Amino acid sequence: MFEKEIARRRTFAIISHPDAGKTTLTEKLLLFGGAIQVAGAVKSNKIKKHATSDFMEIERQRGISVATSVMSFEYQDTLINLLDTPGHKDFAEDTYRTLTAVDSVILVIDSVNGVEEQTRRLVEVCRMRDTPVIVFVNKMDRDGKLPFDLLDEIEKELKLTLHPMTWPINSGKEFKGVYDLHQKSLLLFTAGQKSQEDNSIPIEDLADSSLDRHIGARDAKQLREDVELLDGVYGELDRQDYRAGGIAPVFFGSAVNNFGVRELLETFITIAPVPLGRATDKRFVKPEEEKFTGFIFKIHANLDPRHRDRIAFLRVCSGRFARNTYYKHTRLEKDVRFSNPYSFLAREKDIIEEAYPGDVVGLFDTGNFKIGDTLTQGELLQFTGIPTFSPEIFKELVNKDPMKTKQLEKGISQLTDEGVAQLFTQHGGNRKVIGCVGELQFEVIQYRLLQEYGASCAFMPLSFYKACWITGDKKKVEDFAKYKPANIMTDKDGNLVYLAQSEWFLNTERQNNPDIEFHFTSEFKTSQSGA
């Protein structure tokens, strides 16, 4: 029974550059799974019906996803845990952390714009972990790049080895559909189609004259030439190579028209990996182990504006998670239990009795959790590979209402525990510096501090280039901190951090202090030595 539950689960994230159609694809997948009956339409950044996965007030105002949403649904007896991630680059760190909690990803590429800046960084994070990737080339009904050019660009820019599973027949206004190279069938496109029916036409042999009747002689000739070329280059898909992160299957379609989504979903549940094991500071944990383990990869305060709740998102890694059972919080070394653990469909929450490896569970948190915390059935271990990256923008937090100091302290502490931003406190002082990946995060913090905690604040820009965690000989580190008081901060865990004014200053300090190591992520054992 236990192995069967693991085998039927798939846990993945959808990633993309903003506006590539990620939220639309998410909703079409939910429609296939019967999880929602009507899709919310996101049009030109103005939301008419709110997208199911965008639940924060600021997201509804702006028409962008700023926090990862978790949704579970069933399709063909497969339980799918889908994590929809923020597309906006200012919220990239939330996405990087989410990628630690999934076993594979679907990458959405806009056929008009091709590979964009945010796509590169996201795929880099996937490559760090050898995460299997499936590519969905969206918006084929718009005039965009030629399919062969797109494949070349994706392979070159993202250093991915691709394997087309479907192939488009024209694009833009001339788009007629795709040929499924895997199933040997033709899928004809109709603009504005809402149906989820399988409209495929089996065509085993492309020499069959029926192809000319369906798409016209000119397009049939082009398709035969394209497929002959593809067969010569790609051959059969090697599933093991895909699961090892070596090959990325590619599908073409139009999410807004519900076209090409079924083929993507059905191939995904067939080839995507079942829940995988995870590394800890003590040993490697396998999903089929009897004893429960899991880690917190996301914290979200005030998910429901009517209740001041705070939810910690737990990825189950091994064993069976059960409601009302005591588990060991390994960082605090104390036992905790949860009477109302949740599964999610965006804002909808259902209390669950149990969960298995691959599942994402929402736990009510009274302030016990930080991102990366581990729960076990007693064993003192800590899951690794959930680093914090150096922020790119630094601002000093200024309290605009001294009467609300306590509310501000509590609010900024909780928001930074969520991972919305990083909080640095001056070593030996009270000055607080907030580090973010992008400007929009500061707006979100300011908005949420006021709305949720009644605290009013301002941000003063600081000209720092990078945050580096510093380790090494204790005396040398202490001396370094003493001589650089304006640049030395402590993070939330009490680790010393050096804020460098520029790349030149950073390189100079590294040369002058060979006994001190400067790390660019908070996870020192796995941090890279390059900036």
Extract the runs of DSSP E, i.e. beta strands, from 346-405: 348-351, 354-355, 360-364, 374-376, 393-399
Burial (CB count <10 Å: 0-12, 13-18, 19+), residue 50: middle
Q: Rounded to two decimals, what is the model's pTM? A: 0.81
Q: Per mean pLDDT, which range of 60-64, 378-382, 443-447, 511-515 is the poorest?
A: 60-64
Neighbours of 255 (CB within 10 A): 25
Q: Where in the chain is the domain with CATH 3.30.70.3280?
A: 393-526
Residue 516 three-state SS: strand
Query: What does the pLDDT read at residue 370?
Result: 85
Whether 288 has a pLDDT exceeding 70, the answer reads yes
User: What is the enclosing helix (H) or strand (E) of 106?
Assistant: strand 104-110
Query: What does the pLDDT read at residue 158?
Result: 92
Query: What does the pLDDT read at residue 531?
Result: 37
Task: Give the confidence band of 195 by pLDDT, cuts at 50, 70, 90.
Answer: low
Q: Which residues pair with 345 in a beta bridge?
A: 71, 348
Tens digits of residue pLDDT in 24-39: 898 888 888 776 655 4
DSSP string, 18-81: TTSSHHHHHHHHHHHTTS-SSPPPEETTEESSPPTT--SHHHHHHTS--S-EEEEEEETTEEEE
Neighbours of 4 (CB within 10 A): 8
Query: What does the pLDDT read at residue 444?
Result: 83
DSSP state for residue 21 in the 8-state scheme: S
Residue 402 three-state SS: helix
CATH architecture under which domain 278-376 falls: 3-Layer(aba) Sandwich (3.40)
Both tokens assigned to 289: 């182990």
509 contacts: CB under 8 Å, gap ≥ 6: 498, 500, 516, 518
User: Alpha-carbon distance 34 to 23, whole Å?
Assistant: 16
Contact 99, 116 (CB under 8 A): no
Fold of 393-526: Alpha-Beta Plaits (3.30.70)
Whether 283 has a pLDDT exceeding 90, the answer reads yes
- pLDDT (average), residues 276-284: 93
Start-to-end Cα distance in the chain: 47
Q: How many residues does the chain have?
A: 531
106, HSE (Cβ side, Cα atoms, 13 Å): 29
Contact 388, 468 (CB under 8 A): no
Could you give phi then psi for residue 374, rounded to 5 degrees?
Answer: -115, 140
Whether 91 has a pLDDT exceeding 80, the answer reads no
Top-confidence residue, 262 or 437: 262
Could you give phi then psi for residue 391, rounded to 5 degrees?
Answer: -70, 170
Top-confidence residue, 351 or 195: 351
Residue 356 three-state SS: coil
Q: Per mean pLDDT, which range of 255-259, 349-353, 402-406 is the poorest?
A: 349-353
Alpha helices in 366-438 (DSSP H): 405-418
CA of 65: how far to CAs of 19, 51, 54, 68, 176, in Å? Answer: 10, 9, 6, 8, 32
CA of 427: how far to CAs of 68, 205, 341, in Å? Answer: 32, 71, 38
Tens digits of residue pLDDT in 241-258: 999 999 999 999 999 888
CA of 108: how far to CAs of 3, 119, 222, in Å? Answer: 31, 9, 26
Contact 165, 235 (CB under 8 A): no
Whether 204 has a pLDDT exceeding 60, the answer reads yes
Q: Where in the chain is the domain with CATH 3.40.50.300?
A: 2-271, 278-376
DSSP state for residue 273 in the 8-state scheme: P
Query: What does the pLDDT read at residue 367?
Result: 78
The percentage of residues in the chain with a pLDDT greater than 70, rounded to a whole number, is 86
Query: What does the pLDDT read at residue 5?
Result: 92
Task: Give the confidence band of 306 by pLDDT, cuts at 50, 70, 90.
Answer: low
Query: What does the pLDDT read at residue 461?
Result: 95
Q: Per mean pLDDT, which range of 296-300, 309-313, 455-459, 525-529 is the poorest?
A: 525-529
Whether 42 has a pLDDT exceeding 60, the answer reads no
DSSP string, 280-346: BSS-EEPTT-SS-EEEEEEEEE-SSTTTT-EEEEEEEEES-EETT--EEETTTTEEE--SS-EEEET
Q: Which residues pair with 328 in a beta bridge?
A: 335, 376
Tell me whether strands 248-252 and 162-164 are parallel, antiparallel or unpaired: parallel
Tell me whether strands 104-110 and 133-138 are parallel, antiparallel or unpaired: parallel
Contact 260, 187 (CB under 8 A): yes
Query: What does the pLDDT read at residue 58?
Result: 52
Q: Per mean pLDDT, which range of 8-12, 56-60, 251-255, 390-394 is the poorest?
A: 56-60
Neighbours of 254 (CB within 10 A): 27
Both tokens assigned to 5: 């539950």
Q: Supply the mean pLDDT for the chain.
A: 84
CATH architecture under which domain 2-271 falls: 3-Layer(aba) Sandwich (3.40)
Task: Give the confidence band of 336 by pLDDT, cuts at 50, 70, 90.
Answer: very high
Whether 528 has a pLDDT exceeding 60, the answer reads no
Query: What does the pLDDT read at residue 414?
Result: 82
Q: Per mean pLDDT, which range of 61-75, 219-233, 334-348, 456-470 is the poorest?
A: 61-75
User: Alpha-carbon distance 458 to 470, whole Å?
Assistant: 29
Query: What does the pLDDT read at residue 85?
Result: 74
User: Alpha-carbon distance 168 to 161, whole Å?
Assistant: 19
Whether 454 has a pLDDT exceeding 60, the answer reads yes
Tens digits of residue pLDDT in 131-167: 999 999 999 999 989 999 999 999 999 999 999 999 9
User: Alpha-carbon distance 16 to 117, whole Å?
Assistant: 10
Both tokens assigned to 266: 């059905």
